[in-house]
Amino acid sequence: MFRTLTKIRRLLRMARILAVHDALVPHEYARFAPASLRMAARFLGRPKRFERALLPGERLAQALEQMGPSAIKLGQLLATRADLVGPEIARGLETLQDRLPPFPESEARRIVETELSRPIDQVFSAFGPPVAAASIAQVHEAQTTDDPPSRVAVKILRPGVEAEFVRDFDAFRFAAGIAERYSAEGRRLRLNALVETLAASVALELDLRMEAAAASELAENTRDDPDFRVPTLDWSRTNARVFTMEWLEGIALRDPEALSAAGHDPKRIAVSVLRSFLTQALRDGFFHADMHPGNLFVDARGRVCAVDFGIMGRLEPAMRRFMAETLAGFLARDYMRVAQVHFDYGFVPKVHNVETFAQALRAVGEPIFGRTARDVSMARLLEQLFDTTRRFDMQLQPQLVMLQKTMVVVEGVARTLDPAFDIWESSRPVIENWMVENLGPEARLRDAADGLTSLGKLAQNLPQVLRDTEIIASQLADGGLRLHPDSVRAIATSQLRRTRHVRVALWIAAGALGILAVGLL
């Protein structure tokens, strides 16, 4: 009971911040909200005045920044979920800045000494002030005590950030559970899965050894790629709260003019960024999922170099195939193929008609073709796909959340470098090569060999399968299958729950929390 009250109190604090920023019930949408929620918002706090008129998504972004690290991470994920928050809110959340004031250098030095179990002057001959500070960690420039010394970047976790994330995610899970229990839309959007995806991602970020391992894996996967590089890791100076790697000498992608002045071709770099991302996702199933301009640099050899490996994405082989076949279908304008892929993977319920779904996909895809590259936005395409899949009851696939987010960011980076960037033509070689290597004749032979191996394993288990079949047949002949009493009770409980008629909308649940807040004021 106490833990539940703690979660509610934390949610109410967030609700107050949202109300003050006119983001709990934005005045633009107030007429659609239940009266109880409008009243609760008024009691929670009077909206403050802003220097300029802000859009609802921008006000929400400012509120999330004030809430702290967990809310910032949630907002970054919601920016990719136009189907959940709407396209206008999603665009506003893109302004969310993952920047916080740095903690003192003296505290950073203490953490380094504690984690590495040595005085700092035995680890680094020079250790400077923070050069960047975000919600989870901050970075210092340093120089090692090696002979010769190396210039390195030292990433240090914020003090107490782990406990803060645990408290916030307990509250997020509580809210998602309420939404899924009382709202059909909440279940369709799989809010619990969304929170767990974010929680798993943040858990990896909170252990800098995991980030180092991610950087190491990405470096190994891409070591032969001519246009992409990962800086060298320093495992001897890395621990759970401290991560040390080579200081990257390069030009940030956020500065196209500096790239051109250094003799680099921004258009070629735009293509390299996109193809590196797609190659990582399709070939390796492991990709850098935070490829914003601040994390990407170009070295003297013209290679794209990445830093900050806290947010990584993975795609299982089946998801890679789904992604490749979907993109290939759009490239070929074969909408029936794309629709059939969705049905084959069970993403769209078979109560719907595949031809009708293909027609809906055609309405999304056809406007792309025949237009100039600068007029075709992947972000806009994803927005339309979200709307389409909602109409056909397609559930969110958690593995694709990071992929969708990264594709939008990569497009933005490429367009900054080349305003006329054609994302479709640039991606075509990577997708077509993957299709040949994984769906061509040689791949089919490999699949056949794997199938024979699986058949051999089945043959080894055949005696047990036959015994199980004989037992089932005997029970059927003897009056039916006999279930364990625990199974019977579980089925009965499930049936009783299914007869409950509570189908309250998500805003009604929010209204109940708002009314509770009024009572606590």
Clarify whether 447 is annotated catalytic.
no
* Residue 190 and residue 396 in contact, taking contact as beta carbons nearer than 8 Å: yes
* Residue 306 and residue 295 in contact, taking contact as beta carbons nearer than 8 Å: yes
* Residue 23 and residue 50 in contact, taking contact as beta carbons nearer than 8 Å: no
Residue 120 CA, distance from chain mean position? 36
CA-to-CA separations, 500 to 175, 184, 370, 490, 510, in angstroms, rounded: 20, 13, 52, 16, 20
* Residue 15 and residue 517 in contact, taking contact as beta carbons nearer than 8 Å: yes
Helix (H) or strand (E) holding 335: helix 335-344
What values do phi and psi take at 442, rounded to 5?
-65, -40
Per the structure block, which two tokens stand in for 502?
A: 């509570």
* Residue 276 and residue 227 in contact, taking contact as beta carbons nearer than 8 Å: yes
CA-to-CA separations, 391 to 101, 188, 386, in angstroms, rounded: 43, 11, 9
Please provide the DSSP assignment of 387-449 as one string: HHHHHTTPPP-HHHHHHHHHHHHHHHHHHHH-TT--HHHHHHHHHHHHHHHHHSHHHHHHHHH
Q: Which one, of 103, 101, 141, lies nearest residue 125 by Cα?
A: 141
d(CA 83, CA 137): 31
Alpha helix (H) residue ranges in 183-288: 184-188, 191-205, 208-221, 256-261, 266-279
Question: Which residue among 290, 308, 418, 447 is the active-site one?
Answer: 290
Q: List for the chain the helix, strand, coil content (%; round to 5).
A: 65, 10, 30
Per the structure block, which two tokens stand in for 72?
A: 């910032």
H helices then E strands: how many in the chain? 23, 10
Residue 179 CA, distance from chain mean position? 21
First-to-last alpha carbon distance for the chain, in angstroms, is 20
Residue 469 burial (10 A CB sphere; 0-12, 13-18, 19+): exposed
* Residue 119 and residue 125 in contact, taking contact as beta carbons nearer than 8 Å: no
* Catalytic residue positions, numbered: 290
